[in-house]
Amino acid sequence: MRTLNSYEASLFDVLSLRAKAYYELIKFRLSALVTFSAAFGFILGDSGTFFSWNSFFALVAGGFLITGASGAANEILEKDLDKLMKRTQNRPLPLNQISLNEAYWFTFLTGLLGVAILWFFTNPLTTALGVLSMVLYIFVYTPLKRVGPIAVFIGAIPGAMPPLLGWTAATGIIGHEALILFGIQFIWQFPHFWAIAWVSDEDYKRAGFKLLPSGGKKDLNTAIQIMIYTLFLLPLGLLPTYFGLTGINSGIVATVCGVLFLAQTFSLMRDCSRKSALKIMFGSFLYLPIVQIAYMLDKI
């Protein structure tokens, strides 16, 4: 078996570092989760008579690219702020692993390719929603993070857009079913965002981010707001079953997950601790994919 010489090994190391830098720039894992939500919306929107694999794969590819471009643009705009926070100081731009000019071109071309794929292989409505999502995330949500918690409300709109894009890619319309899927993911983001903001409060303060409600305090008022939005997920989680979009089994799963998610908020209201906020954060990471998978399995 031939071994690599020193030049080849060095070149391989350089290419590996570059690939890892771009992997981090597009926030690959987050982009993959967002793309999964879009695929979930497509599967629920599919009529079941003829599954359009072309539109499905175009949604997955285009959705991943515009999500990755949005994440990369966010890192470009916040490159100086990322240097101030422990959780982001090792991103490729603060470490100068990628030049700013290179990041600009990569982000522009990635976003353009994603939009082109949606335009040519899905439909204009899905493309328009994808562009709207990018614009809101990059040019509205990102700068508002230093203004106040209104950023969470704005950020929840593009954050809830993936299942809506999936539905429109499958059907070409926005029906009440699509709005239900959008609503569940929209409301879910408030406890999700605020739990992250609570856990990362010190880091966020270094960058001037103001995402927590109640004047940015980690207190009972903020904990109560997290509880209220989590409580809303219980009736919302049953709407797909009520309207016949899915069956009773997924309704049961959504209710059980909602109750367990809600129970974590009572601990936060009791002690207002970082540990309790961390449990809510991890709970939010589990709630959405589990419920969405349950909906899909019930539909299939």
In the predicted structure, residue 179 carries a pLDDT above the cut 70? yes
Same domain, residue pair 224 and 128: no
Same domain, residue pair 70 and 184: no
What pLDDT sits at residue 3? 52
How far apart, in whole angstroms, are the C-alpha atoms of residue 61 and residue 7? Answer: 35
Of 174, 198, 219, which marks where a domain is finished? 174
Q: What value does the mean pLDDT take over residues 132-148?
A: 95
In a domain, 1, yes or no: no
In a domain, 28, yes or no: yes
What pLDDT sits at residue 6? 60
Same domain, residue pair 50 and 186: no
pTM over 0.85: yes
Please name which of 80, 33, 46 lies closest in space to residue 299, comparing C-alpha atoms.
46
How far apart, in whole angstroms, are the C-alpha atoms of residue 177 and residue 288? Answer: 17
Domain of 119, CATH number, reads 1.10.357.140
Of 147, 174, 201, which marks where a domain is finished? 174
Same domain, residue pair 201 and 162: no
What pLDDT sits at residue 18? 85
What pLDDT sits at residue 9? 53
Same domain, residue pair 162 and 54: yes
Residues 259-291 have pLDDT tens digits of: 999 999 999 999 999 999 999 999 999 999 999
> What is the extent of the structural domain holding 82?
9-174
Mean pLDDT estimate for the chain: 92
Annotate 34-85 with three-state secondary structure. HHHHHHHHHHHHCCCCCCCHHHHHHHHHHHHHHHHHHHHHHHHHCHHHHCCC
Same domain, residue pair 256 and 212: yes
What pLDDT sits at residue 2? 52
Same domain, residue pair 47 and 128: yes
What pLDDT sits at residue 13? 65
Same domain, residue pair 227 and 96: no
Of 174, 209, 234, which marks where a domain is finished? 174
Residues 32-50 have pLDDT tens digits of: 999 999 999 999 998 777 7
What pLDDT sits at residue 11? 63
- If one counts the domains in the chain, the total is 2
